[in-house]
Copies of this chain bind each other. A is one copy, B any other.
Amino acid sequence: MIQHVMMGIGLTLMLAVSTMAQEQPLATSVSSTRQADPLGSWNDGPTKAAILQFVQDVTKEGGPKFVLPEQRIATFDQDGTLWCEQPVVQFEFAVYRIKAMAGDHPGWKEQEPYKSVLAGDVQRLVDDLLSGGHEILKVIETSHAGMSVEEFDRHVRDFFATAKHPKLKVAYTHLAYAPMVELLAYLRANGFKTYICSGGGIDFMRAISEETYGIVPENVIGTNGRNEFKQVDGKWQLFKTADHLFFNDKATKPTGIDLHIGRKPIFAGGNVRSGGDIGMLTYCHSNTLPSFQLLVNHDDDKREFAYAEKDNASLKQAKAQGWNVVNMKSDWKTIFSND
């Protein structure tokens, strides 16, 4: 709780600094010694320098790379890009809900996929998903649909108020990456609109996006079913369904971005794990305006977790297309805001 409050204060301070930066535009050459560093959680190096240079270029009125404020759209994956994905938080929430619901469903003990979930074997479902299986969808549907959006929101908030990361022993919202929260605030202070574009459920992320990242609900793009507006007990309510499920991942991220925003991003951030962000970064890179692609590489097994893709597809694309790779170990001075 104290950490949470401190994080809130940190965010407020950052926003204050950013507002100052907006009122006193960056000088032509960025000098971190002469003013507060807007990316203080980043180590100096080529990635940080490239970000600062890009923002300076697109905000310089009359400059060759100037981009109008309304076109400054930035989209970010969440899991592994904005916060820790070991384990994937939403799967932990699904398990939490299945366990809470199990009392009313005694048959689940012998019935897959619930049996594995109740026995704590979530990895089996994650492996299945990564190999193209859909067993987890049943779990997601049971835990995420068939209730009003308000009821779902209450479940999500209850989860975040009580659950802790199994290894790091802090609330999941404390596992947002400080350098990325800082980057989001820095972009907003420079006229960008910042969005989450994730494979995570849209309603799940919206419950914490504003408090955690300063990202308002209307700027969250994610996996969703087609909800149904109907009268229940004499009251019109919006009910969650898994009908026409839209899985916002890989090649469908551009579809989600176009549906929600209607403009191509000029800044996109994703991470190495499943190749899930290659589509979004490619889409961003196809922008005819100046654009910036950021790929987070998880190489820090001491402060976070180290893992790679089987085929290294994301890093290969980054090299081929000239995207900027963030190596957490060397590029980030701090990982979590409570470090």
Chain B residue numbers with a CB within 8 Å of A203 are 262
A282 touches B236 (CB 8 A): yes
A259 at the interface (CB under 8 A from B): yes
Interface size class of A (residues with CB under 8 A): 35 or more
Q: Check A217/B262 contact, CB under 8 A, given A229-B283, A236-B282.
A: yes
Q: Check A286/B236 contact, CB under 8 A, given A261-B217, A261-B218.
A: yes
Most buried by B among A210, A244, A261, A262: A262
B230 touches A262 (CB 8 A): no
Q: Which stretch (A14-22, A98-106, A219-227) binds chain B? A: A219-227
List A residues 201-216 near B (Cβ within 8 Å): 202-203, 206, 210, 216
A262 touches B206 (CB 8 A): yes
B220 touches A262 (CB 8 A): yes
Q: Mark A268-309, 1 if CB is under 8 A from B, else 0.
A: 000000000001001100100000000000000000000000
Contacting residue for A255 out of B73, B220, B226, B252, CB 8 A:
B226
Q: Check A227/B259 contact, CB under 8 A, given A216-B70, A244-B244, A244-B246.
A: yes
Chain B residue numbers with a CB within 8 Å of A216 are 70
B246 touches A258 (CB 8 A): no
- A10, B262: Cα distance in complex, Å: 26
| Minimal Cβ-Cβ distance residue in B for A259 | B224
Shortest beta-carbon distance from A191 to chain B in Å: 13
Chain B residue numbers with a CB within 8 Å of A218 are 73, 193, 218, 260-263
Q: Check A236/B283 contact, CB under 8 A, given A229-B254, A252-B229, A261-B218.
A: yes
Chain B residue numbers with a CB within 8 Å of A238 are 254-255, 258, 283
A228 at the interface (CB under 8 A from B): yes
- A20, B238: Cα distance in complex, Å: 39
A170 at the interface (CB under 8 A from B): no
Contacting residue for A235 out of B220, B230, B286, CB 8 A:
B286
List chain A positions with a Cβ less than 8 A from chain B: 70, 73, 149, 193, 202-203, 206, 210, 216-218, 220, 224, 226-230, 235-238, 244, 246, 251-255, 258-263, 279, 282-283, 286
Some 16 contacts from A to B, beta carbons below 8 A apart, are: A70-B210, A73-B218, A193-B218, A202-B262, A203-B262, A218-B263, A224-B259, A226-B246, A227-B254, A229-B255, A229-B279, A236-B283, A236-B286, A237-B286, A238-B254, A244-B244
Given known contacts A70-B210, A244-B244, what 11 new A-B pairs fall within 8 Å (CB)?
A70-B216, A73-B218, A218-B262, A218-B263, A227-B254, A229-B253, A229-B283, A230-B251, A238-B255, A244-B246, A260-B260
